[in-house]
Structure 1
Amino acid sequence: MDRLQAMKVFVTVVNEGSFVQAAEKLGLSPQLVSKSLSQLEEHLGVRLLNRTTRRQHLTEAGTAYYQRAQQVLADIDDLELQLSGLQHSARGVLRISAPVSFAIRHLAPLVCAFQEAYPQVVVDLQLNDRKVDIIEEGFDIALRIGKLDSSSLIAKRLAPVRLLYCAAPGYLERAGTPADMNALREHRYLHYSYMNDAVVPTARKVLLSNNGDILVEAACAGAGIALQPTFIAWDALREGRLQPILRAYEPEPIALYAVFAHRQFLASKVRSFLDFIDGYFGTPPYWDNF
């Protein structure tokens, strides 16, 4: 049994959804596809697929084998490209998950420049502020902001992210500028829902939202004080629509990370994107220049 060919047959069956379609794609007969899969299961000593007359379902062992087999086949393809001098020929679909506000404000130029450098890569960029499961949901890379929990995933730090207290000049003229954190209880505070309450325990929250852009725009309109990352508030701070306050109480910076599943099984498209985004935003990042 050719184990590599059997692995490729199995992955193709799963991707295509049937033995007949897999056989057509591989240029084999359905009988040979079925025989190859049976030999692979016998060799591994586990059942990979539960078959019915209409369709097949992955077993628990099959799911684990499928995920690893995809990585192995992609790694082999990547190695062959490198050995043939085509290591820069990244190709395929690159699935990226990214936070909504950050992506809208900062990712479009990066993605366009990346695709100009790697025209054979199709970028599937999905925006979501929740913490996606990159393996279960099929993402190659997730961009995340904050302090990361320990996990089996690999994280590459891309840029620092500063958080600033800020308010519109008009609001500060009316309500005064707080001198310390205790003074926040006398002010209107615009709270980001995902932020730990311990950061602003004395604040009087009058508006809560899970989107930082909403809070920045509300602050610009004079609704109160907001604690927001500079990558969102940058334009407003630069244009004077917002003014930084409580600088002595600025929280410790957090960071932007690229998170991915396996360092040793990186496909060319993933490695190329990680190399491309590394240092792209500058040191310090351009959104801290205001």
Structure 2
Amino acid sequence: MKYKSLIMPKKMYWFVVPALILFLTFWIIPIFSLFRYSITNFNGINPNYDIVGLKNFETLYKQGILFNSIKNTLIYAAILVVFGNVTALTLAMALNVKLKGKSFYRSAIYIPTLFSAIVVGFIWSYVYMPDKGMISSMMHVIGLDGSKLNILGNFKTALYGISVVDIWKNVGSTMIIYLAGLQMVDESLLEAGKIDGCNEWQLIRLVKLPLISASITINVVLGVINGLKAFDYAFIMTNGGPGTSTNTLMFTIYKIAFTEQQFGKASAFSVAAFLVIIVITVAMLIFMNKKEVEL
């Protein structure tokens, strides 16, 4: 009996070449170009630019733009991770039991995930609208003055307002991942826990959560990534305002590059943001992997 070799023939490697060319063209080369432009005064149009060294980074540090954007982005990401996962896990557990019409509820919760960010942003802009928006109208119905409620126009609440929209849109996909994990939990383990005298909260804390630790890790990582690349709702709903209250890292890069036409400065900001994101992501992965092993 002849066995086929598991070693791939050399000619098969040529099929990888198109993907490598695309990866090189649209990923590697732009990254090197980003680092090169970060030390110039390139404005995005004029091919004649000068090398300014670390001046762009010094300007960002002195103006405090970077630190304000990092603060807003970290707050935004923290809200998505904590409240988004708690909400999704609660919904998943509620819909993982024998319930009439649970397929309908699952579908209804998942539907917003299918909408584009532009559509969601415009819809929620009307929901938040002062006096005539849905929230203000509901306040009027119960006898409260909703005309003064201006969530997106308030420096203290705008960032929280757009983060709620992001959670609402993505809670369905997060819930699906938790549902998949919960359905893999062996019922015999839950029965054993009940026999040992565990109440429902103890079953969740001591049995279910440890067994879905992989799902928790996935959703936390996705939440952090989604928070760090936040741009859509800051652009659509508030345009970074009021003031700089919703200026996230990605929005600030966009504004510096395409509004102020300072591509050199925007490139420097991108490099700084890239390093910050790498540090946060690596630290988070190390922490989550340790927690997963402990569970």
Q: Please give the TM-score of this superposition, normalised by the length of structure 2.
A: 0.25
Higher relative contact order (CA 8 A, sep 6+): 2
Q: Which has the higher strand share?
A: 1
Q: Which has the higher helix share?
A: 2
Q: Please give the TM-score of this superposition, normalised by the length of structure 1.
A: 0.25
